[in-house]
Amino acid sequence: MASASLFRIELQGAGCHGAMPHLGHDPVFAAAQIITSLQSIISRNKNPIHAAALSVTQVHSGDAQNVVPNEAWLGGTVRTFSDEMLDLIENRVREIASATASALGCVSSVKFVRNYPATVNDHEYTTLAMGVMRELVGEDAVDGAIPPTMASEDFSFMLRAKPGCYAFIGNGTGDHRSLGHGAGPCLLHNGSYDFNDALLPIGSSYFVRLVERLLARGS
C-alpha cells in the first residue's frame, strides 16, 4: 500500500475590484495556475514506470463574486511507494508553488505533511502467512499476486520496525448485505458498507494458526 501525505498551499495576493483586476494580484488565478502545473510533476518529472498519485481536492477563496480576494488556498493528497519518489514530489510542489506565485505577484507558503509511509511486506513472512491461509481456506481462495493499492495504512509504521505481512481478508461477494444498493461488496468509506460477519471465524482461525506456526519455528 502507498504512503499518504497531505499538502496545503496558501497564497497571499492583493485584493481589488473584479472590474479592475490590474490594480491587484489575484491569488485565485495563481491557484489555478498552480493546480495545472502540479500535474506536470506526475507527467513530466516522475519516471513513468514508477507509480505515484497527486490529487488537488480543495480550493478555497473569497466570498463575493465581484471582488478579487486577498487570499486563497488549495490542498490535496500525494501517494507514492518509495521515499525517493515522495522527496521528488514534495520538492517540486514547493518549487512550483513558490515560482508560480512569485511570477503572478503573490506570496506562497506550503505545508506538506507525511502522514503514513508505504506499507511494504517482508517476503519471508508473506510466504509464511500465505501458507497458513492456504491450509485454512484452500489454494483457490488465496491470491498472492494482488496489485498494489494507492490506499494507505498505519500498519506501515510497524513494518518499518519489524518484518511482517499485511494481508486483506476480503469481504465476500456482497450477498451478505441487506441494504439493497446493488450487487457486489461495498468498499471502505462507502456509506452502505456492511461487514461480512461470516468472516470472523476465518480471521480468528488464521491468526491462531499463524501464532502456532511461528511458535513451532521457535521465533
Read off the pLDDT of residues 39-94 as tens digits, 9 standing for 90 and up.
Answer: 999 999 999 999 999 999 999 999 999 999 999 999 999 999 999 999 999 999 99
For residue 188, what pLDDT is reported? Answer: 72
For residue 25, what pLDDT is reported? Answer: 98
* Consecutive H or E run containing 34: helix 27-40
**Rg of the chain, C-alpha, whole Å:** 24
- The closest of 38, 8, 23, 36 to 70, measured between CA atoms, is 23
107-123 burial: b if 16+ Cβ within 10 Å, else e: ebebebeeebbbbbbee
Report domain extents, the chain.
3-116, 123-216
Alpha carbons 83 and 86: distance in angstroms, whole number:
5
The average pLDDT across 14-43 equals: 98
For residue 194, what pLDDT is reported? Answer: 77
User: Does domain 3-116 fall into CATH 3.30.70.360?
Assistant: yes
For residue 143, what pLDDT is reported? Answer: 95
The pTM of the full predicted model, rounded to 2 decimals, is 0.85
pLDDT band at residue 170 under the 50/70/90 scheme: confident
85 and 52 in contact (C-beta within 8 Å)? yes
